[in-house]
Structure 1
Amino acid sequence: MECQKTKDQTAYPVFYDVEPTEVRNQSGAVGEAFAKHVKGSWIFSFIKRLTRKRMSENEEEDDVGRWRIALKEAASLAGMELKNTFNGHEAMFIQKVVKDICLKLHSINLIDDENLVGMKTRVMKVVSYLESGFDDVQMIGIKGMGGGGKTTLARAIFDHMSIRFEGKSFVENVREVSKGSSSGLKKLQKQVLQDVLNDQSIDVTSVFDGKKKMKKVLCSRKVLVVLDDVDDIHQLEALAGSSKWFKSGSKIIITTRDEQVLVISQRVNLIHDVDLLSHEEAICLFSSYAFGREIPDEGYEELSENVLDYAAGLPLTIKVLGSHLCGRSKMKDEAIRILESCGYHAEIGLRVLEQKSLITISNDGRLGLHDHIEEMGRNIVRRLHPDEPNRHNRLWIKEEIEYILDNDLVRFKFTCKGTEATRSIKLLNTHLSADIIMRGLRNMNELRFLYVDTPFGGVDEVDQYLPDTLQSLHWPGYPLECLPQTFQTNELADLAMVQSNIFQLSEGGERKVLNKLRFLDLKYSKLRTFNLGMTIDLEMLDLKKCNDFLELHMPVALLKLKFLNLSGSMLPQGLDRLECLEELYLMDCISLRDIPNSICNMKCLKYLHLPYCILVTRLPEELGRLVCLKELNIEGAGISHLPQGIFELKGLCIVWSRGRLESYGFTSLTEISRYTASGYV
């Protein structure tokens, strides 16, 4: 009751086997309890005496008096009484309490996000319409241009209303996920079913199967479903085929840029135009992101007005310009690898793009790119020959790539014209077999970047082919045991074949020329041996969990190798030739017993990870000489001794299992932090 008065909280009394009048007047069962309490107050006094000065009788009476007043006030509040609710049915009573509390929390907390400027009015406008026909199945469309706030509005409505439904599902990016593929629609149907039933084991074998299951499930429960960014009538037919699919009271919200999709479907009860921000709302939103308050900083008023004129009331544009917040995501390190392998100065280029607010780089190294900018880039690629993908220098649409690789001219005559223009291919979730892919690549004599995912089938010896011009090759699940014999790797700088069948780069005793190779990622592959003398320019080597790996040859010093991951693999000889190494990952190396002295001599080493090396029981004192060491991870390892010199390294972060503190001679993290120069464990 004190919190309700002083902290703006709400007390909600629940009267369980007691009447409000008994609480208010301290009569009946409550009166009896109070009598026992006062009678046994010597126990109360004894407990108090243990923690503070002895209480006087007046103080004890005052304490009891405060309880009486608090209970009287509580009994006067609106609450719920078991006796008069559902005839005392406890389970139904509990459900009612939970529902009431959730609704109260929603009404307090939702639509009050300070960054959702003007959202409350917009949400309540749509909600009032939905509530007017609450017992009917209603489908409404929210339309508007990209970046106008359709998704944000739909999400706010979903959050505001979802507590009232028996099932709910917010389906994002319908357009992108279902693009040109029935597997995408199956994935979305499965998501709706799993969300509504809260059962992740549900599967969908086909779009037709998904429709049958949705009809069967959705008609038996009142649901709230949001289909975000719909652009094709087939998507609605697969996900919300008819109002008869749904139980009475269900609500379906569809956001789209294309009003015709809603009109043609003839399913929608209402088409709602998303309202762009007013000038006052735009100023408030922009200032909150750019200056951290509701109005521009002094001296920035005119600039802010110019920005808002450009943004034209589009909330997303205002956010991007105000905070550089973007919507596409990719790891910065991976992007740099690919770009630098293809001859671009990626570090400088990304820095310039970030300064111009065209991309963002988060603290965890993710690149952000707004979808409008991505769309603009794709239009630039396609604008000269929009209907001739074989003349585009970059290919990313699965159906177009499959047509180019699998058409009859390529398969049988190898005389298809125009594919010489192709510089980059990214092929995901293809049904093409590896031999068809390799046949189709024979005409791409200028290909620089190739990414292939989930190919099937083997490859005949005659079909094994990769363009010699490749600079960056990513092929997870690569089916062959080595690179094609005809593939001249003179230009290759980036090779990634994760979870592949490759066990050696070259067939037999032949040695590939890999003088330009800088990045090699073969983790989870079947690689058995590798000679680093073939790759003297190598900067990154990832051999994590290569279970068949036996030997890593290091005949020469590798002065450029910065990153080495041998987690779960064998630790090779010759580590003393890696004096410039900065990151070493040896997680779960079960054969590792002692830390080699060569590691203690890596003066540039910044990150040393030894988690779950259970046979390693102590670290050498010489590790204290690694003045560049920033992070030491020994979580789950068998280490029972830490060298004293480790604690003298400035800025070092030590990661370990809390349960091993005693074995190190410490009793708490607070105690050990006093010993580290950084104070950070």
Structure 2
Amino acid sequence: MEGKMEIKKRLRTKTVLLLLDDVDNESQLHALVQKREWFGKGSKIIITTRDQGILKVPTLVDEAYELHGMNYKDSFELFSKHAFRTNRPIRKYFSHSGRATKICGGLPLALVVIGSLLSGKSIEEWDAILKELEKSPQEDVEKKLIISIEALNESQKYIFLDVACFFIGCDKRIVIHMWESCDFCPHQSLSILQQRSLIKIRDDNQLWMHGWLRDIGRNFIRRESDMKPEKQKWVWTYEQALDVLEKMQNGGGFHGNESIEAICLEFDEQSRYPFIKEFLASLSNLRYLRVDEKSISQVDSKDFSGDSVSILTQADPFQYYHNSNFHQTIFGRLPELRWLSWNCFRKDYRLTSFSLRKLVILDLLRSNITKEWDGWSHIQRARNLKVLNLTGCQELRETPDLSFNVNLVQLILEGCRSLVQIHPSISHLKRLVILNLKDCYHLRMLPDEMGELDSLEQLLLDSTSIEEIPEWRKVKKLKILSLVECKSLKKFNFVGCATSSMELLSVDMLFTQLPKSIKNFNSLTELDLTHSAIHELPDSIGDMKNLKELKMLNTPLRKLPRAIGMLEKLERLDVGAFSKLGGEIPNNIGKLQFLRKLWIKIRRISRAPQLPGSLIDLGFLSTLTKLPFSAEGTQALLQDFAKPT
């Protein structure tokens, strides 16, 4: 209800264009666009869905338009781009390409996936696959796309279905540790899945999959298990989990269940998981367990019964919740567990005897654990642990002793707002690659022991109260250092922090100018000075020959130095300043042959030089009335300019 009121409050006086993509439930419409008066006069709302029934709401939907498939010419071209990486097929594949295009029926996703499946295969393989595809009715696209899934090897199939069920939107760099532990050859498998257009990996390393492919993958799982959830390897909804539990109970008890390998559970006032002890203990091949715990104190105790000894014991048991149903040996019987994700884990719980031998990822997001929590001594046994995620653990004031977890690769402490100290044992983490301390508002000091992290590649300190970045001589592999919104930062040793591998530096501080020593960051590919107090750039910035992106939005910059034109590899330049910036854009900027995006959001630029023809994205907010270009066709970019007001 609060969300609806907020939408109405913020948007009722604004004219908006709102796109709701891939809506699959009418409740989503009621939650976001229930009433027209929530939006200002002239607003337009576009809804895309695969279920026409959702649009049959006369008070909300004025018109419904059925999107037809692509025409044959465009379909043929799209198919060829994915099958041959060009707009037209190789001559000997021409007729086969026509067959494949007709099979896809003008559906872009089918053209992309089937084109990618056939790419690089022989004529004989094309014939066999096309014959199989032609067996399905023209309208049965799902059966055609399932052929792409069936063509995967076992490891590729596991990873595809893992993503379809659990990991859309997850960071590839985290999930990959579980797949490596399971010998799924994730680097090679992900490459194949991308080549066949079954998944995408975004620039921020998030895994993405088309909603249709997600549903096809899940339906594939259902069919493979004869539509019986208890036989599925993946159980991805809370409702499914409860259904499986009840069926196993009614079927005569909980015997060894070797099918389920990944499952998610939810505990709240609506959830009822009787006999949870026996259920979990039966999952001998479980490798991924996610538990979302909400309002646990409201769960009626009559729904939880079992032995008095538990894996999760409490110093001060809750009045209504007796978790004695989690027997001491449950997790001891989960020898294949690789990833335990327990949302809102309580400090009253004490991990005692579940198997940590193969655990590589531990998520305890938004838990109220502290440094004194008893469970840390048990986590020390997880000698193969690669990722420890403590995001949002707001009662954690100091990190625990991690000296035994020497294989840790990622330590995520984002949003630990009470954190004030990092334990000296961090020096033992010689394999640590990523340390995320974003939004640890009260953290003021970094320990000297961090200078021993010789594998560290990413250090994220955004929105902390860090006052100084020490000079760490052994941190030679640092690639990304982010200091956005570090308003207490007083000392930053540019020379000491420069490494031969540094790629991204985001600096948001009170310094008014960059030192000449910035040139020591000669491997830097991205420099972000957005929201900084920088009013002048040194000429030495021209020595940063590998720089590809330079961002200086919302800065009091006074002028653009000529040295910017010396950044030979520059692809993107964003400059947005307060009213102080004026003068001219350097003439030599036209020589930047790789420059693709140029945004100049200032008003007092009097003249622009010849601009490079490589530009594909150009934006100005200035008093300029004429822009010269060095290539034909670039004038079309003018239509995207922001007009002066």
Which bin holds the TM-score, normalised by the shorter protein? 0.5 to 0.7
Amino acid at match of 2:104: A
Shift of residue 562, structure 1, vs aligned partner: 0.5
The residue that corresponds to 1:518 in the other structure is 386
CA 1:332 to 1:499, structure 2 compared with 1: closer, same or farther past 3 Å?
Answer: same
Per chain length, whose mean CA-contact separation is higher, i.e. which structure has more relative contact order (CA < 8 Å, sep 6+)?
1
- Correspondence list, 1:116-131, <5 A: none
Do the aligned partners of 2:408 and 2:431 also contact (CA within 8 Å) in 1? Answer: yes
1:537 to 371, 395, 407: 407
2:343 to 471, 476, 492: 476
In the alignment, the residues of structure 1 paired with residue 100 and residue 507 of structure 2 have an alpha-carbon distance, to the nearest angstrom, of: 51
In the alignment, the residues of structure 1 paired with residue 434 and residue 387 of structure 2 have an alpha-carbon distance, to the nearest angstrom, of: 9
Amino acid at match of 1:589: T
Do the aligned partners of 2:347 and 2:373 also contact (CA within 8 Å) in 1? Answer: no
1:356-387 superposed Cα distances (whole Å, 9 cap, x missing partner): 44333344434443455444433443335434
Shift of residue 487, structure 1, vs aligned partner: 2.6
Q: Aligned pair 1:467/2:342, yes or no? A: no
In the alignment, the residues of structure 2 paired with residue 508 and residue 658 of structure 1 have an alpha-carbon distance, to the nearest angstrom, of: 41
CA 1:644 to 1:277, structure 2 compared with 1: closer, same or farther past 3 Å?
Answer: closer
CA 1:320 to 1:446, structure 2 compared with 1: closer, same or farther past 3 Å?
Answer: closer
The residue that corresponds to 2:285 in the other structure is 446
Gaps of at least 5 residues in structure 2 are: 1-14, 120-144, 146-162, 298-320, 539-556, 574-645
CA 1:376 to 1:607, structure 2 compared with 1: closer, same or farther past 3 Å?
Answer: same
The residue that corresponds to 1:307 in the other structure is 100
Do the aligned partners of 1:524 and 1:544 also contact (CA within 8 Å) in 2? Answer: yes
In the alignment, the residues of structure 2 paired with residue 566 and residue 224 of structure 1 have an alpha-carbon distance, to the nearest angstrom, of: 39
Do the aligned partners of 1:542 and 1:564 also contact (CA within 8 Å) in 2? Answer: yes
In the alignment, the residues of structure 1 paired with residue 112 and residue 29 of structure 2 have an alpha-carbon distance, to the nearest angstrom, of: 29
Amino acid at match of 2:32: Q
Amino acid at match of 1:460: H
Amino acid at match of 1:486: S
Q: Aligned pair 1:416/2:254, yes or no? A: yes
Shift of residue 498, structure 1, vs aligned partner: 2.0
Q: Aligned pair 1:654/2:527, yes or no? A: yes
In the alignment, the residues of structure 2 paired with residue 481 and residue 435 of structure 1 have an alpha-carbon distance, to the nearest angstrom, of: 20
Do the aligned partners of 2:265 and 2:290 also contact (CA within 8 Å) in 1? Answer: yes
The residue that corresponds to 2:356 in the other structure is 489
Q: Aligned pair 1:560/2:431, yes or no? A: yes
Q: TM-score, normalised by structure 1?
A: 0.57
Do the aligned partners of 2:22 and 2:47 also contact (CA within 8 Å) in 1? Answer: no
Do the aligned partners of 1:409 and 1:415 also contact (CA within 8 Å) in 2? Answer: yes
Q: Which protein shows a greater Rg?
A: 1
1:590-624 superposed Cα distances (whole Å, 9 cap, x missing partner): 1x2222223x4311111111222223223225336
The residue that corresponds to 1:631 in the other structure is 504
Q: Which moved more, 1:442-451 or 1:166-175?
A: 166-175
The residue that corresponds to 2:604 in the other structure is none
Equivalent residue pairs, number:
455
Secondary structure of the residue that 1:339 maps to in structure 2? Answer: helix
Shift of residue 580, structure 1, vs aligned partner: 1.2
Secondary structure of the residue that 2:263 maps to in structure 1? Answer: strand
1:373-407 superposed Cα distances (whole Å, 9 cap, x missing partner): 44443344333543431222211133221233467
The residue that corresponds to 1:130 in the other structure is none
Q: Aligned pair 1:585/2:460, yes or no? A: yes
1:487-540 superposed Cα distances (whole Å, 9 cap, x missing partner): 332221011222222335961774430101001111111334311212110001
In the alignment, the residues of structure 2 paired with residue 381 and residue 650 of structure 1 have an alpha-carbon distance, to the nearest angstrom, of: 50
Q: Which moved more, 1:349-358 or 1:414-423?
A: 414-423
CA 1:609 to 1:437, structure 2 compared with 1: closer, same or farther past 3 Å?
Answer: farther
In the alignment, the residues of structure 1 paired with residue 46 and residue 497 of structure 2 have an alpha-carbon distance, to the nearest angstrom, of: 58
- Correspondence list, 1:572-651, <5 A: 572-590=447-465, 592-598=466-472, 600-623=473-496, 625-635=498-508, 637-640=509-512, 642-651=514-523
Q: Aligned pair 1:395/2:244, yes or no? A: no
- Correspondence list, 1:8-23, <5 A: none
The residue that corresponds to 2:22 in the other structure is 173
Q: TM-score, normalised by structure 2?
A: 0.60
- Correspondence list, 1:112-261, <5 A: 172-175=21-24, 178=25, 185-193=26-34, 196-199=36-39, 228-230=49-51, 240=56, 245=59, 251-253=62-64
Do the aligned partners of 1:640 and 1:664 also contact (CA within 8 Å) in 2? Answer: no
Secondary structure of the residue that 1:533 maps to in structure 2? Answer: coil
Q: Which moved more, 1:222-231 or 1:418-427?
A: 222-231
The residue that corresponds to 1:668 in the other structure is 559
The residue that corresponds to 1:101 in the other structure is none
Shift of residue 579, structure 1, vs aligned partner: 1.1
In the alignment, the residues of structure 2 paired with residue 447 and residue 353 of structure 1 have an alpha-carbon distance, to the nearest angstrom, of: 24
In the alignment, the residues of structure 2 paired with residue 553 and residue 322 of structure 1 have an alpha-carbon distance, to the nearest angstrom, of: 54
The residue that corresponds to 1:332 in the other structure is 172
Do the aligned partners of 2:200 and 2:208 also contact (CA within 8 Å) in 1? Answer: yes
Secondary structure of the residue that 2:340 maps to in structure 1? Answer: strand
Shift of residue 560, structure 1, vs aligned partner: 1.4
Do the aligned partners of 2:242 and 2:273 also contact (CA within 8 Å) in 1? Answer: no
The residue that corresponds to 2:226 in the other structure is 386
Q: Which has the higher helix share?
A: 1
Shift of residue 228, structure 1, vs aligned partner: 2.0
Shift of residue 191, structure 1, vs aligned partner: 2.4
Do the aligned partners of 2:357 and 2:382 also contact (CA within 8 Å) in 1? Answer: yes
CA 1:303 to 1:290, structure 2 compared with 1: closer, same or farther past 3 Å?
Answer: same
Secondary structure of the residue that 2:384 maps to in structure 1? Answer: coil
Do the aligned partners of 1:542 and 1:565 also contact (CA within 8 Å) in 2? Answer: yes
Do the aligned partners of 1:532 and 1:553 also contact (CA within 8 Å) in 2? Answer: no
In the alignment, the residues of structure 2 paired with residue 505 and residue 464 of structure 1 have an alpha-carbon distance, to the nearest angstrom, of: 23
CA 1:567 to 1:190, structure 2 compared with 1: closer, same or farther past 3 Å?
Answer: closer
The residue that corresponds to 1:318 in the other structure is 111
Do the aligned partners of 2:512 and 2:535 also contact (CA within 8 Å) in 1? Answer: no
- Compute the RMSD of aligned alpha carbons: 4.3
Shift of residue 542, structure 1, vs aligned partner: 0.7
Do the aligned partners of 2:457 and 2:480 also contact (CA within 8 Å) in 1? Answer: yes
In the alignment, the residues of structure 1 paired with residue 459 and residue 45 of structure 2 have an alpha-carbon distance, to the nearest angstrom, of: 49
Do the aligned partners of 2:438 and 2:460 also contact (CA within 8 Å) in 1? Answer: yes
Shift of residue 347, structure 1, vs aligned partner: 1.3
Amino acid at match of 2:382: L
Do the aligned partners of 2:415 and 2:437 also contact (CA within 8 Å) in 1? Answer: yes
1:411-437 superposed Cα distances (whole Å, 9 cap, x missing partner): xx9943464421101357976559869
The residue that corresponds to 1:425 in the other structure is 263
Do the aligned partners of 1:623 and 1:643 also contact (CA within 8 Å) in 2? Answer: no
In the alignment, the residues of structure 2 paired with residue 584 and residue 467 of structure 1 have an alpha-carbon distance, to the nearest angstrom, of: 34
Secondary structure of the residue that 2:331 maps to in structure 1? Answer: coil
Shift of residue 548, structure 1, vs aligned partner: 2.9
In the alignment, the residues of structure 1 paired with residue 276 and residue 417 of structure 2 have an alpha-carbon distance, to the nearest angstrom, of: 28
Secondary structure of the residue that 1:523 maps to in structure 2? Answer: coil
